[in-house]
Chain A
């Protein structure tokens, strides 16, 4: 009896002491439930964050693949050029990746989207071996223009695609008549001709003018941009040099020359096939292919261009045309 009273007193004293400390008494079951509840909550938040990030990556990858797929119909047949517009629902960055390794190199596309004012991590890179996109490292916006033009050197190598954001305006000052005609007929919203007074435009000059962002030496076959020189052959590569970043331009040009080399090998064998049918074409494609195989950078384009013109003339004169 005395013992029980003692325990009761001790418990009351303890409770009073806890009250004084303003503490709350927890049973083991409560403590356990709180800890487990917290663990489950933390896990749920972690999984939800991961799922959002995976969802963003998935959307980015799917958008990149979709953009690549949509590039198929804009490839030209016998048209000189084609322009179309891609509209996306959210602000998007399209990253242009290029590698020249392998038989044909590859064109990579990555996208990232803006959500809650922050750019998401880019999705996985989607690669295409048969596409050549010329743009800056990345283009940003909701609307993008795709301008495609065939690259004949001297036979058709591929269609070149120039990707620009609608936010970026280019103004061509004093271009040659054929360029002016082409750009006017194209009616692409962000490409202006001879009206270069407004602010925030990229001024592309063909004459010797001041305050130009890009200077095109059309007859000499090179452009000057941010203190770098990019060489070109044909109008298709001139546009490519204007719209693309230096590294992307050089990489894509290398890929194009690889494809040109493969195609010249096909035409070389086709010439042999024609000889068997007594329909000779007498084209020096072998030398052209050797020059293509030795291509290093755009400074080689001048030599290649002269040889391409030569074999084009021979093909035009041939009884059995190779292309």
Chain B
């Protein structure tokens, strides 16, 4: 049986090697931590950049949409009020559209669409089939209470019946079409 002899030189060498390995391990941890931190910062920066781009595109979409929305088939007066009218919203059609809104919820890609009469009734009266047209706010799509609004002035037209003569005539009022987009957080 061989018995290894205790050697002071070997002991010192082993201690030195152990110290070097420890030094290397600490260095490694520091390097990994450094890269991880740099990575986290880079990722946070990129994510915030992507978020900004997404918000900018949403904003652009809302801005461009509001200028054309009144001419889309679900809103436009067409030739129903005599002649071709642009930026004219058919109130009769809108009040019906309000009942069909579940299908249209994501159709225009914005979180809220609202129409507000500018003159007339002072208090906010929400429109429904029962009080229409004696109301001043139509909330078509309501997905978010916060966000950024873009608006456009439009004429809001409907057909009204004169109770005395029984004649049906066209009535138009000025209104504001408001489109809201929700900011990505």
| Contact indicator A279/B80 (Cβ below 8 Å) | no
Checking B21, B67, B93 against A266 with a beta-carbon cut-off of 8 angstroms, the contacting residue is B93
| Contact indicator B108/A130 (Cβ below 8 Å) | yes
- Which A residues touch B65, using CB under 8 A? 72
A164 at the interface (CB under 8 A from B): no
Report how far A219 CA is from B86 CA in the complex, Å. 32
With CB as the reference atom, state the residue of chain A lying closest to B43. Answer: A51
- Which A residues touch B28, using CB under 8 A? 36
Range, interface on chain A: 35 or more
Q: Shortest CB–CB separation between residue B7 and chain A, in angstroms?
A: 11
The verdict on A104 contacting B103 (CB below 8 Å), with A78-B84, A273-B96 known, is yes
| Contact indicator A321/B57 (Cβ below 8 Å) | no
The verdict on A157 contacting B159 (CB below 8 Å), with A62-B53, A322-B80 known, is no
- Which B residues touch A323, using CB under 8 A? 78-80
| Contact indicator B67/A73 (Cβ below 8 Å) | yes
Beta-carbon contacts under 8 Å, B89-144 to A: 92-93, 95-97, 99-100, 103-104, 106-109
With CB as the reference atom, state the residue of chain A lying closest to B79. Answer: A321
Q: Shortest CB–CB separation between residue B56 and chain A, in angstroms?
A: 9
- Which B residues touch A66, using CB under 8 A? 57, 60
B35 at the interface (CB under 8 A from A): yes
- Which B residues touch A238, using CB under 8 A? none
* Highest count of chain B CB atoms <10 Å: which of A72, A156, A267, A273: A72
Report how far A58 CA is from B46 CA in the complex, Å. 10
A111 at the interface (CB under 8 A from B): no
Beta-carbon contacts under 8 Å, A268-323 to B: 269-270, 273-274, 277-279, 319-323
Residues of A within 8 A of B (CB): 28-29, 32-33, 36, 40, 43, 47, 58, 62, 65-66, 68-70, 72-73, 75-78, 103-104, 128-130, 155-158, 259, 262-263, 265-267, 269-270, 273-274, 277-279, 319-323
Q: What are 10 A-B residue pairs whose CB atoms fall within 8 Å in the complex?
A: A62-B53, A72-B67, A129-B107, A129-B108, A129-B109, A259-B73, A270-B92, A273-B92, A321-B79, A323-B78
